Every structure is written in C-alpha cells, then in structure tokens.
Amino acid sequence: MLAFILAPENLPFSVALLVMLMIGLVEALGLGLSAVHLDLHLDAHADGPDLLAWLGVGRVPVLMLLVVFLAFFGIAGLAVQQAAAALRGSAVAPGLASALAVLAALPLTGIGARGLARIMPRDETTAVSLDTLVGKRGTVTIGTARRGSPAQVRVRDSFGQAHHVMVEPHDEAHPLGQGDTVLLARREGNIFIGLGEADGITPHVHEQLRVG
C-alpha cells in the first residue's frame, strides 16, 4: 500500500495528504490558527451562485477548510488511481486524476464545511469592528513588540471571539515580549498601541492615550 501511495503517478495526492497531516500537527502543537491570522472579507452578490459560500468559506476558518479540501482531494485521487489500476491495469496520468479528484473534492468540501459549521461555536463567525478592541487586554503570541516593529497579540472581543492584531508598545523603553499581557490603548491604522504592566497605566492616563 505504501508503494502505491508513493508511486510517481500518485505524487499530487500523497503530497496533499502530507500537507494536511503537517497542518494538523502544527494545530496540535498550538501553533496553527494562533500563529496565522487569516482575514477574508467577501461580498456576496445576488446575481448568480456564490461559489465561495457554497464551498463553505465564511462558515468555518479558512485553514480548517483547506485541511478538509486536502483530505478529500488526496483520498479521491488515490481512489481514482486505484480504480484505474484495477480496471485497466495501470494508473491514469496525474493531471487527469487530479482533475477528477478536484471535481470530487469540491462538493465534498462544501458538505464537510457545513457539517463542521453546525458543531462549531456560533460566535466564531461574529464580525466586529477592530475599533471595538481598544480597551481590551490581550497576550503577545509571536515576537517582541518594539516601536516600529510590532508583535502579534491575541485578544478577545465582547463576543468571546479571538482576534490576532499587530501591536507596538507605547513606550520605547518598555518592549512587550511573548506571553506579556497587553492593554490595547489606541489604534493607528492597522497597528494598535499597547501598554504593558511596566507602564503602570491608570484609567486617567489610559483615556488620555486613547484620544492622543
């Protein structure tokens, strides 16, 4: 069986399954969605079918959707090659097998996404303005935040949904390291200005920073 999976004609499908397993391993180690924040803003149009919505985009996290697609693509491709070998004595060309596997994987991915959406917490899809995160506390997850060099901070909104934002410290003398608790004092474009425990912030100073 291993020789069949590693055969050259099955390379696209074995690679897809390997990538799926690697993503799963990264997730299991806690480095997946906490380390990669994917924002996807899509406008649905009334005229014509919404292919992305049909595939499940917006129902579940994009990384999870990718895992589901890779799993179905790899399994479908191997099934096509196994059936071809049984019927005609040899596998078909990888390009043809891949096309057939994609045709099978796309609807299965949509079905899988809808199933996952039913068991996932509803607040995962709640959309809020980033401005509402000002005043929230988060934790530095990746990097060390310095002025001009932001780090990634994980913060939850009022609905309990996690966001990953880039934060710079308010004070150059107080960099924010991984694991530090950060108060998001204000937003400047796509960057938040954060206050760490070393800043000794009081509510009065915090309000001044928000408007300053």
Does residue 138 belong to any structural domain of this protein? yes
Distance CA 77, CA 11 (A): 10
What's the pLDDT at 155? 92
The reply to whether 17 and 100 lie within a common domain is yes
What average pLDDT does the segment 59-82 reach? 86
The reply to whether 116 and 134 lie within a common domain is no
Residue 168 has pLDDT above 90, yes or no: yes
What's the pLDDT at 5? 82
What's the pLDDT at 42? 41
The reply to whether 6 and 103 lie within a common domain is yes
Answer yes or no: are the C-beta atoms of 64 and 36 closer than 8 Å.
no
What average pLDDT does the segment 139-149 reach? 89
The reply to whether 77 and 149 lie within a common domain is no
What's the pLDDT at 184? 92
What's the pLDDT at 55? 64
What's the pLDDT at 95? 92
The reply to whether 155 and 74 lie within a common domain is no
Least confident of 127-136, 152-161, 194-203: 194-203
In this structure, what CATH number is given to the domain that contains residue 161? 2.40.50.140
Residue 102 has pLDDT above 80, yes or no: yes
The reply to whether 73 and 142 lie within a common domain is no
> What's the number of domains the chain is made of?
2
Q: pTM for this one?
A: 0.50
Domain termination site, one of 91, 120, 149: 120
Q: SS in 3 state form for the chain?
A: CHHHHCCHHHHHHHHHHHHHHHHHHHHHCCCCCCCCCCCCCCCCCCCCCCHHHHHCECCECHHHHHHHHHHHHHHHHHHHHHHHHHHHCCCCCHHHHHHHHHHHHHHHHHHHHHHHHHHCCHHHHCCCCHHHHCCCEEEEEECCEECCECEEEEEECCCCCEEEEEEEECCCCCCECCCCEEEEEEEECCEEEEECHHHCCCHHHHHHHHHC
Candidates 188, 192, 189, 185; CA nearest to 168 is 192
Domain termination site, one of 98, 120, 142: 120
The reply to whether 110 and 135 lie within a common domain is no
The reply to whether 103 and 6 lie within a common domain is yes
What average pLDDT does the segment 171-186 reach? 89
Host domain of residue 179: 130-211
pLDDT (tens digit, 9 = 90+) per residue, 7-36?
888 899 999 999 999 887 776 665 444 434
Does residue 110 belong to any structural domain of this protein? yes
The reply to whether 81 and 32 lie within a common domain is yes
